[in-house]
Amino acid sequence: MASPTSHMQTSRTHFSPVQLVLISGALVLGVLLLWKLTHLVMLVFGAVLIAVLLSAIADKIGKLSGLSRGPSLGLSILLVIIFVAAFAYFMGSQLVAEANALIERAPELAKTVEQYTQIEELES
């Protein structure tokens, strides 16, 4: 009797040198294209995350209230907008004050960093 492994054939794909060069070139081109489109990729990634968040909120609203998908998605968008607006209303002035304080201290901090890096250059 033949062993169980004798029926299995190993198939290896052999590429010609021209095919290897073309595949390598396509991979390099793809990586460079992704690198150049990093901002677009990040924007799409952020949009997908927001869509997942809104979908999860809509699912919870739909389960709790019995609303269909459309109205619960609209309600979830409205709730997120209200949350962001409330955060901006209650914390906005504090954030602006902190940003202004940082802007006022920026020259002093820049000098400190410059002095620190000069000391590091002298030591090495």
Number of domains in the chain: 1
83 in a domain, yes or no? yes
pLDDT at 9: 60
- Concatenating the DSSP letter of every residue in 89-123 gives HHHHHHHHHHHHHHHHHHHHHHHHHHHHHHHHHHH
Boundaries of domain holding 64: 23-123
pLDDT at 6: 52
pLDDT at 76: 96
17 in a domain, yes or no? no
pLDDT at 12: 73
pLDDT at 55: 96
Q: Is 109 within 8 Å of 115 (Cβ atoms)?
A: no
Per-residue pLDDT of the chain (124 residues; tens, 9 = 90+): 555 555 556 667 788 889 999 999 999 999 999 889 999 989 999 999 999 999 999 999 999 999 999 999 999 999 999 999 999 999 988 999 999 999 999 999 888 888 888 865 555 5
10 in a domain, yes or no? no
16 in a domain, yes or no? no
2 in a domain, yes or no? no
pLDDT at 1: 53
pTM for this structure? 0.56
7 in a domain, yes or no? no
- d(C-alpha 74, C-alpha 61), whole Å: 10
57 in a domain, yes or no? yes
DSSP structural state of residue 37: T
62 in a domain, yes or no? yes
